[in-house]
Chain A
Amino acid sequence: MSPEQTNLLQGTLDLMILKALALDEMHGLGISRRIEQITKGTFQVKPGSLFPALHRMEESGWLASAWGESENNRRAKYYKLTKAGRRQLGTETERWSRISIAIARALEAS
């Protein structure tokens, strides 16, 4: 994978995670399930990339985590957005919509 692609995907992954957590707090697997669901299966996040991303974002202060009970009574770590996380979601959303509009225009122009 070339570095550009990684960056793009990393940016995408961050946005997806932020978006997934926008409504409610969730544990790691829940997040990946939610992302699959909201993108209608386009994005499948592997745990191998999900967990590093979660920890990175927590370190950046966008996410906060706490232990809780899962739906089937298992202990799981729940993540939720912090204030900074919400702000970040705002900026990221704006950035992505700008980019997608620009790309859409570019593709239409031909």
Chain B
Amino acid sequence: MRLISRLASFARRIFHGHEVDSDLDAEIQSALALLTDQKIAQGMSPVEARRAAIIELGGVGQVKEEVRAVRTGAWLDSLLQDIRFGFRMLLKSPGFTAVAIITLALGIGANAGVFSMINTLLLRSLPFREPGRLTLLQNFVPPHDSATQFHDWHPQYFSDAAAFEDIDANLSGDRSVIRAHISQTSGNFFSALGTQPVLGHAFAPEDDVNASGLGLPGRNAVVVIGYGLWQELFGGDPKVLGATIRVDGNPLIVIGIAPPGFDYPNKTVVRKPGAFTPGNDGWVAIGRLKSGISLEQAQAAFAVETSRERSATNDRNPRPKMISLRDSLLGPVRLASLLLMGAVALVLLIACTNLAGLLMARTAERAAELSIRAALGASRARLARQLLTECLLLSSAAAVAGLLVASWTISLAAKVEPPPLGAQSYSTLNGPVLIFTILTSIVTAVLFGVLPLLYVTRMHSWGVRARSSVRTRGLRMVHDGLAVAQVTLTIVLLGAAVSVGSAFAHLMRIDRGYNVRGIDTISVSLADTTHQGPGREAAYFEQILDRVRLLPGVRSASATEFLPLYAATFIGGRFGMDGHPAKRPSLMIPIFSDYFQTMGGRILFGREFNNAEVRSGAKVAVVDERFARLFGSPADAVGRQLTISRAPGFVPAGSAIVGVVRAMDYDTDPGVANEPQVFVPSKNPAFSSATVVVRIDGRAEDHLAAIRDTIQSLDPQVPVYSVKTMQQRLNEAFARPSFYRVAIWIFAGFALLLTIIGVYGLLAYGVARRTNEIGVRIALGATQGSVMRMVLWQACWLGCRRSPCLLYQECRGQPDRNRARESRCTNRGCGGGDTRGGGSCCVSTRPPRHASGSRSGPPPRVTRPSVSPSKVIRRSTN
């Protein structure tokens, strides 16, 4: 009953607000009239009676305000009123509003953008069943001599384990050949991950077979192709099942289509059942933890198992490690993303400080308005709420604009740091990001609104003193504090930017063992072409090289199966010297003649292969110094025998070492030590593919097209791809750190800009407030120049005195402080004594105080008779 009648009255006020209000006004006016009548009847004059009546009533406005305050939903009324008023105030100063919104929008937008990235990269789950239970075994090769051996390997902590190996291959449907990333997987790959083809079916466990090579036709000649490839090659035709595609020339039947965006591992577009063969160290195992077993328990069990094995075989490889699949996908980006998040948070903080300063100044300007409102019956809480509403209006407008900024940030980020699984894209319009944006804008509003709020709550209820006299030291301290906070935060951000930048510069300057400049690289694959076959591939590459070497501007040309920076596929084995096996496996890199000369590598001892050796497939080898050092002094390695303990079919054994070279950087991650390297003549390229490298006189870019055309003209059917300069490859390899570096630089630059604007605003405001004082100074004889000098000096003083290092020094102790203050006093004669914590902008028509006296207690207001104000002013303006 009571509730219903309240709601009814609330509704009446919403729909007939104006009537209700005029009714209230009439009621109070009539009460006033009655009261006045009463007073007149008691014998007062009409004027007196009315005055007495108003006093007794307690003010018409106030009574009305109190009535409004007790009504149901009064808060909503006042909120709407605040919002309306806030809008008007913001529209009244469009310049300020625009600056504030743009500043905040950039800050909030950058935050939302980076958060969206982090949300996708780190927080959202992978599109697998119970992704948290999936683990990856690093630095560990599962048993793989045969399919049976792999399936028999079944650690007790896994409910399911699968294996895969990913490589590049030539892929052809009906049309031309393309180069694509494919993987061979154990038959249970899909079921272990907990995902299913959207069309057709996955492999059967018995699909994987024992084979002595990669991609042999047989009963495992089936593939599950990626969703994107299905769209691209077959136009999304559902009748694709049963069609044939050729992988490196082998016809394989399509039995399924993977879900959209499922590109694990490593952006694979085609998956085929595994062909298990001894000696292939490329297998990687993933496992699903049994329910009830935690990752830590499994890790411990795995560590025990592997360390037993390691000590038995005296293995010096990096220690095998079990990590969660998520970490394996996100490991490299986690730290960088969090760093980025920290940087944008700092930017937002600076933006807040900036706005706090601006708003503070504005609120002080509005002191008159605020005191009138207080006099008209607004409580302090009400005024505070009003200001907070204005802040929230600003920040929510900024949040909306910020979402635009965010989507821009994201599209930029998606180019450089694509989400690891295509199914997940960065998006601004999802729940967590929107919630984050809203929360950020609220927190922001509170952050930059808190100072004006404090100002209002400290205001006397009868209103603040007139504008010119609002010169409380507290206010000035706050201003200085804001400026200092901004400068400090910016210095932090700039410091971070500089250190990230120099780390990156260092990364790019690292000695890679070859000369990046002036090299063109072009990849050629002979798989599935007429040039494939024993001995024919090498001959074809020799033909290419013969032609390329004749081109103008070409200084030398060679080819290799693996370029530096390309360590995606590990081919190698446990090489040794003179029958002693090395303790670590080495990378094996088949090369053609003149390779080191072309790459600008350094031959430390001996020589590189000559043409005849490569053509005849002579048993010679070049090793890098780290390999040589495993067996003693590098200088002695030349002439010794290279041996291999467990020989995969295509690795030559018993070659004579003819040269020792400086190691080339085959890994993009500077934190990972390269494996020792063994270079052998490329007689029978393992994957029928190689990359031609050409050293150019002049700009590498200018010759790229000509070289590509020359290679293509030899046989247009042969796929020629990755036509890039070496520098381009390097840039691509370091695109990620480069992106983070650029992002941090942009944020730091933005912070600097904000700070400059903010500090300028604060100083300009400070000077504007001192107009009277400056006028007095000029009247007393200060010249324009000396006033300008004073302002400048004080600005610098603010900068220096408040910079973090001095702040630190100052915190160290009272004696220092006093000494500093004394010296300041003697230097300047004035102003120095007025610095209790923040007073750089000394406002001293007041005489100086005793240096030691101003530290504690309220500042003494006594004037020292020996110093006249005019003298002080003249001295301080000198």
Give 1 or 0 for each of A49-77: 1 = CB within 8 Å of chain B CB: 10111011011110000000010101111
Determine if B5 and A29 form an interchain contact, defined as CB atoms under 8 angstroms apart. Answer: no
Determine if B28 and A27 form an interchain contact, defined as CB atoms under 8 angstroms apart. Answer: no
Question: With contacts A48-B63, A60-B5, A72-B37 known, is A55 near B30, CB below 8 A?
Answer: no
Give 1 or 0 for each of A75-97: 1 = CB within 8 Å of chain B CB: 11100000010000000000000
Output the nearest chain A residue to B4 by Cβ-Cβ distance.
Answer: A61
Output the nearest chain B residue to A49 by Cβ-Cβ distance.
Answer: B66
Give 1 or 0 for each of B76-97: 1 = CB within 8 Å of chain A CB: 0000000000000000000000
Give 1 or 0 for each of A29-55: 1 = CB within 8 Å of chain B CB: 100000000000000001111011101
Task: Say if the beta carbon of B2 comes within 8 Å of chain A.
Answer: yes
Determine if A77 and B71 form an interchain contact, defined as CB atoms under 8 angstroms apart. Answer: no
Determine if B9 and A51 form an interchain contact, defined as CB atoms under 8 angstroms apart. Answer: no
Complexed CA–CA distance, A70 and B1 (Å): 31
Question: With contacts A47-B63, A51-B63, A59-B72 known, is A27 near B34, CB below 8 A?
Answer: yes
Chain B residues engaging chain A, CB cutoff 8 angstroms: 1-2, 4-6, 9, 23-24, 26-28, 30-31, 33-35, 37-38, 56-58, 62-63, 66-67, 69-72
Output the nearest chain A residue to B35 by Cβ-Cβ distance.
Answer: A29
Determine if B30 and A61 form an interchain contact, defined as CB atoms under 8 angstroms apart. Answer: no
Question: With contacts A52-B67, A59-B72, A75-B26 known, is A29 near B31, CB below 8 A?
Answer: yes
Question: With contacts A48-B58, A51-B63, A61-B1 known, is A77 near B30, CB below 8 A?
Answer: yes
Determine if A47 and B31 form an interchain contact, defined as CB atoms under 8 angstroms apart. Answer: yes
Question: What would 5 A/B residue contacts be, using CB atoms closer than 8 Å?
Answer: A56-B70, A56-B71, A61-B2, A70-B34, A77-B30
Determine if B1 and A55 form an interchain contact, defined as CB atoms under 8 angstroms apart. Answer: no
Determine if A46 and B9 form an interchain contact, defined as CB atoms under 8 angstroms apart. Answer: no
Determine if B1 and A74 form an interchain contact, defined as CB atoms under 8 angstroms apart. Answer: no
State the Cβ distance, B859 to closest chain A Cβ, in Å: 36
Q: Which of A47, A51, A52, A61 contacts B5 (CB 8 A)?
A: A61
Determine if A52 and B31 form an interchain contact, defined as CB atoms under 8 angstroms apart. Answer: no
Complexed CA–CA distance, A84 and B35 (Å): 30
Complexed CA–CA distance, A79 and B178 (Å): 90
Determine if A59 and B66 form an interchain contact, defined as CB atoms under 8 angstroms apart. Answer: no
Determine if B34 and A74 form an interchain contact, defined as CB atoms under 8 angstroms apart. Answer: yes
Output the nearest chain B residue to A73 by Cβ-Cβ distance.
Answer: B37
Question: With contacts A47-B58, A59-B5, A61-B5 known, is A76 near B34, CB below 8 A?
Answer: yes
Determine if B57 and A77 form an interchain contact, defined as CB atoms under 8 angstroms apart. Answer: no
Given contacts A59-B9, A76-B34, 7 further A-B contacts (CB under 8 A): A27-B31, A29-B38, A47-B56, A48-B66, A56-B71, A60-B6, A77-B26
State the Cβ distance, B59 to closest chain A Cβ, in Å: 8
State the Cβ distance, A65 to closest chain B Cβ, in Å: 8
Determine if A74 and B30 form an interchain contact, defined as CB atoms under 8 angstroms apart. Answer: yes
- Residue picked from A29, A47, A49, A55, most chain B C-beta under 10 Å: A47
Output the nearest chain B residue to A87 by Cβ-Cβ distance.
Answer: B1
Question: With contacts A28-B27, A58-B9 known, is A52 near B70, CB below 8 A?
Answer: yes
Complexed CA–CA distance, A60 and B70 (Å): 11
State the Cβ distance, A63 to closest chain B Cβ, in Å: 10
A residues within 8 A CB of B9? 58-59
Question: With contacts A56-B70, A59-B71, A60-B5 known, is A48 near B27, CB below 8 A?
Answer: no
Complexed CA–CA distance, A37 and B6 (Å): 31
Determine if A51 and B6 form an interchain contact, defined as CB atoms under 8 angstroms apart. Answer: no
Contact residues of B: prevailing secondary structure: helix
Question: With contacts A28-B31, A55-B67 known, is A48 near B57, CB below 8 A?
Answer: yes
Determine if A55 and B2 form an interchain contact, defined as CB atoms under 8 angstroms apart. Answer: no
Of residues 14 through 31 on chain A, the ones whose CB sits less than 8 Å from some CB of chain B are 27-29
A residues within 8 A CB of B30? 27, 70, 74-77
State the Cβ distance, B90 to closest chain A Cβ, in Å: 32
State the Cβ distance, B4 to closest chain A Cβ, in Å: 8
Complexed CA–CA distance, A46 and B35 (Å): 12
A residues within 8 A CB of B4? 61
Complexed CA–CA distance, A74 and B2 (Å): 32
State the Cβ distance, B17 to closest chain A Cβ, in Å: 15
Determine if A52 and B66 form an interchain contact, defined as CB atoms under 8 angstroms apart. Answer: yes
Complexed CA–CA distance, A19 and B453 (Å): 44
Complexed CA–CA distance, A107 and B69 (Å): 38
Output the nearest chain A residue to B72 by Cβ-Cβ distance.
Answer: A59
B residues within 8 A CB of A46? 56, 58
Complexed CA–CA distance, A51 and B27 (Å): 9
State the Cβ distance, A41 to closest chain B Cβ, in Å: 16
* Interchain residue pairs A-B with the least CB separation, the first 3: A61-B5, A48-B58, A52-B70
Determine if B5 and A55 form an interchain contact, defined as CB atoms under 8 angstroms apart. Answer: no
- Residue picked from B1, B23, B31, most chain A C-beta under 10 Å: B31
- Residue picked from A49, A53, A56, A59, most chain B C-beta under 10 Å: A59
B residues within 8 A CB of A56? 70-71
A residues within 8 A CB of B66? 48-49, 51-52
A residues within 8 A CB of B28? 51
Output the nearest chain B residue to A33 by Cβ-Cβ distance.
Answer: B38
Complexed CA–CA distance, A49 and B58 (Å): 10
B residues within 8 A CB of A48? 57-58, 62-63, 66
Complexed CA–CA distance, A27 and B38 (Å): 14
Complexed CA–CA distance, A53 and B871 (Å): 63
Determine if A29 and B34 form an interchain contact, defined as CB atoms under 8 angstroms apart. Answer: yes
State the Cβ distance, B621 to closest chain A Cβ, in Å: 92
- Residue picked from B2, B26, B34, B62, most chain A C-beta under 10 Å: B34
State the Cβ distance, A85 to closest chain B Cβ, in Å: 11
B residues within 8 A CB of A52? 63, 66-67, 69-70
B residues within 8 A CB of A49? 66
State the Cβ distance, A47 to closest chain B Cβ, in Å: 5
Output the nearest chain A residue to B58 by Cβ-Cβ distance.
Answer: A48
State the Cβ distance, B72 to closest chain A Cβ, in Å: 6
A residues within 8 A CB of B31? 27-29, 47, 51, 76
- Residue picked from A27, A48, A72, most chain B C-beta under 10 Å: A48
B residues within 8 A CB of A58? 9
Complexed CA–CA distance, A60 and B56 (Å): 27
Complexed CA–CA distance, A55 and B35 (Å): 19
Output the nearest chain B residue to A55 by Cβ-Cβ distance.
Answer: B67
B residues within 8 A CB of A59? 5-6, 9, 71-72
Determine if B2 and A60 form an interchain contact, defined as CB atoms under 8 angstroms apart. Answer: yes
Complexed CA–CA distance, A48 and B53 (Å): 12
Output the nearest chain A residue to B29 by Cβ-Cβ distance.
Answer: A75
B residues within 8 A CB of A27? 30-31, 34
Complexed CA–CA distance, A27 and B62 (Å): 20
Complexed CA–CA distance, A55 and B71 (Å): 7
A residues within 8 A CB of B5? 59-61, 84
Complexed CA–CA distance, A59 and B6 (Å): 5
Output the nearest chain A residue to B69 by Cβ-Cβ distance.
Answer: A52
State the Cβ distance, B67 to closest chain A Cβ, in Å: 5
State the Cβ distance, A13 to closest chain B Cβ, in Å: 12
Complexed CA–CA distance, A77 and B20 (Å): 13
State the Cβ distance, B9 to closest chain A Cβ, in Å: 5
A residues within 8 A CB of B37? 72, 74
A residues within 8 A CB of B56? 46-47
Complexed CA–CA distance, A48 and B64 (Å): 9
State the Cβ distance, A5 to closest chain B Cβ, in Å: 18
Output the nearest chain A residue to B53 by Cβ-Cβ distance.
Answer: A47
State the Cβ distance, A28 to closest chain B Cβ, in Å: 5
Complexed CA–CA distance, A77 and B57 (Å): 16
B residues within 8 A CB of A60? 2, 5-6
Complexed CA–CA distance, A16 and B26 (Å): 24
Output the nearest chain B residue to A65 by Cβ-Cβ distance.
Answer: B27
A residues within 8 A CB of B23? 77
Complexed CA–CA distance, A49 and B4 (Å): 24
State the Cβ distance, A98 to closest chain B Cβ, in Å: 22
Complexed CA–CA distance, A56 and B23 (Å): 15
Complexed CA–CA distance, A55 and B67 (Å): 7
B residues within 8 A CB of A61? 1-2, 4-6
- Residue picked from A46, A51, A61, most chain B C-beta under 10 Å: A51
